[in-house]
């Protein structure tokens, strides 16, 4: 599994400081995608278990969540990284353009953002969006956390 970028992000998972990996090879290719460079397979660097564990250790007690922007097309590999995250007491999140992911993958997530990008409906900050930010354990839709008063 290849990642195009690694960042520390603050807005994608409300209330969390997240280690964010943007995974390359997206097959969804939403019209109006803000990251079409992620469509190219094997773009970026190989995400190894060794590198991943090093980053988890480096940010322990600083970050609280591991976020994958895509990667569900690498189901088994992604599950390995999510399990490692949970083992180190990180919460986990996946942003996907799909409406559903495998039950095995879902079992390793704290939150999931689902739904293709649709420019006419906007993102999570828009009340009419088709996207959903879901707390997996309760199946609660938490989009309201992104909407400004």
Indicate the range of 8-22, 23-37, 67-81, 95-109 predicted with least confidence: 23-37
Residue 37 has pLDDT above 90, yes or no: no
pLDDT of residue 28: 82
Domain that holds residue 121: 2-146
Tell me if 57 sits within 8 A of 104, measured CB to CB: no
Beta strands 2-9 and 18-23: pairing type?
A: antiparallel
Beta pairing partners, 20: 7, 67
Residue 115 has pLDDT above 80, yes or no: yes
> What CATH number has the domain bearing residue 81?
3.20.20.70
Residue 36 has pLDDT above 80, yes or no: no
- Tell me the backbone φ, ψ of residue 45, rounded to 5 degrees: -120, 150
| pLDDT tier, 137 (very low <50, low <70, confident <90, very high otherwise) | very high
Counting every residue, how long is the chain? Answer: 149
pLDDT of residue 19: 98
- As for how many domains the chain has, the answer is 1
Q: Where are the alpha helices (DSSP H) in the chain?
A: 49-58, 75-87, 103-106
Structure pTM? 0.94
- pLDDT over 90 for what percent of the chain? 84
pLDDT of residue 42: 83
Please state, in angstroms and rounded to a whole number, the distance separating the CA atoms of residues 71 and 27: 10
Classify the phi-psi angles of 126: left when phi > 0, otherwise alpha if psi is within -120 to 50, otherwise beta: beta
Q: Give the tens place of pLDDT for each residue, 54-65.
A: 999 999 999 999
């Amino acid at each position: 599994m290849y990642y195009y970028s690694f960042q520390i992000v603050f807005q994608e998972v409300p209330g969390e400081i997240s280690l964010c990996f943007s995974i390359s090879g997206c097959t969804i290719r939403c019209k109006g995608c803000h990251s079409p460079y992620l469509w190219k397979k094997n773009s970026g660097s190989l995400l190894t278990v060794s590198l991943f564990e090093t980053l988890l250790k480096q940010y322990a007690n600083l970050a609280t969540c591991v976020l994958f922007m895509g990667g569900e097309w690498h189901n088994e590999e992604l599950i390995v990284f999510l399990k490692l995250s949970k083992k180190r007491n990180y919460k986990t999140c996946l942003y996907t353009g799909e409406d559903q992911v495998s039950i095995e993958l879902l079992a390793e997530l704290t939150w999931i953002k689902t739904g293709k990008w649709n420019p006419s409906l906007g993102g999570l900050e828009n009340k009419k969006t088709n996207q959903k930010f879901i707390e997996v354990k309760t199946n609660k839709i938490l989009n309201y956390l992104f909407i400004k008063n």
